Chain A
């Protein structure tokens, strides 16, 4: 499973007022896609993500895999799980291409800590 991780050099913040406004519009079935709610600074350039991008971005902690992120985002927006996962992966591949995240493969069993109880590190 793919586990996305943010590039630590990307500085970002959620624009709280705009985030709330975009959610308000989403709940009223109004257009929210063109509202920037999360600001990122990357190598001197400044960018913004919309509500869906922001909900994905804020779940990238190096632990959550794409399936978990997709399930949570899909539930937020009331989307089908399979379609959401494809869309989330497309988004992540796009921002990985810009160097904002890395996408790492992890086995289904998950990766364990690099030590053994009672053993020598």
Chain B
């Protein structure tokens, strides 16, 4: 099948960089950019709707800190976008859960990084945050909102993911996203303490993939191109390698567009540039869609399916898009 998308399927939008947490791995805490005004935010929705973007996901800071979150979401849902958000859950009480449902959220992701409260609280650097996240998840389900649990796999939890999956099921989540650690922003500064070695990543996936394949009660998602090394690519994968710039884009709080939140390379501005021209004409995106094998990827039989793995990790570690993914466990 020849694939050419008229626009991204998903746009991840950092509607705010503000957050009431100071997590050790946060990619955006070091970004000092201003956020768009409420009127500008509505114009962003117009641009995305006019280009038939299917999913709009709020991430980056804590979305519930934005005062226009609900009217913005009502507007976006009314324009046909499926709106989702990632939240730490700390600001979600019963009233907020009702407002989230009424605003038309398609799904909400709550960050929970360990089934052990003290481990989650230490990772999020916020005492009591586990309890609040679990309470938020329950309130969202009681309000009838589809729930996902979002976890960052790293040193603190890579051996305990099964308990996380059990907790997510018990909370009624339809999906648990086991995100791989990215060494961008604070994640780069804390890489030594938090990131796994390539061999640890191999062992994690060798244990987690069979669970994903056998699990019936919840979808376990990884979204990591390095899964190709195990021949364990996720079902329904339309593109090889990273999805950044192929299926998705990221909009920073100030409106700048980057290929993904973890690749800090500006390729345009959502309100100042033609979004279609950015999507179809960006030289950076062209490069990401047609990566060349370099280093140990040259001659590797897996390159055609992994395309060098995660471009964001390669860029953060080596400063080039084509470098091999530092998580890759294939020998040099």
Which positions in A face B, CB cutoff 8 Å? 11-13, 15-18, 34-36, 39, 41-48, 50
Contacts and interface: CB of A to CB of B under 8 A. Distances in A.
Contacts of A13: 6, 52, 54
Contacts of A39: 5, 9, 54, 238
Interface residues of B, number: 20
Interface stretch (B33-41, B59-67, B151-159, B229-237): B229-237
A44 B221 contact: yes
Decide if the interface of chain B is mainly helix, strand, loop or mixed: loop
Given A46-B236, A48-B238, A15 B4 contact: yes
Contacts of B238: 39, 46-48
Given A13-B52, A13-B54, A46 B234 contact: no
A58 to B, nearest CB: 14
Nearest to B221: A44
8 contacts: A13-B54, A34-B1, A34-B2, A36-B4, A44-B234, A44-B236, A47-B238, A48-B3
Given A16-B6, A18-B6, A43-B219, A11 B236 contact: no
What are the 3 tightest A-B residue pairs by CB atom distance, in nearest-first order?
Answer: A45-B236, A46-B238, A36-B1
Interface in B37-57: 52, 54-55
Most chain A beta-carbon contacts within 10 A, residue among B6, B221, B237: B6
A44 B4 contact: no
B175 interface: yes
B247 interface: yes
Interface string B217-242: 00101000000000000111110000
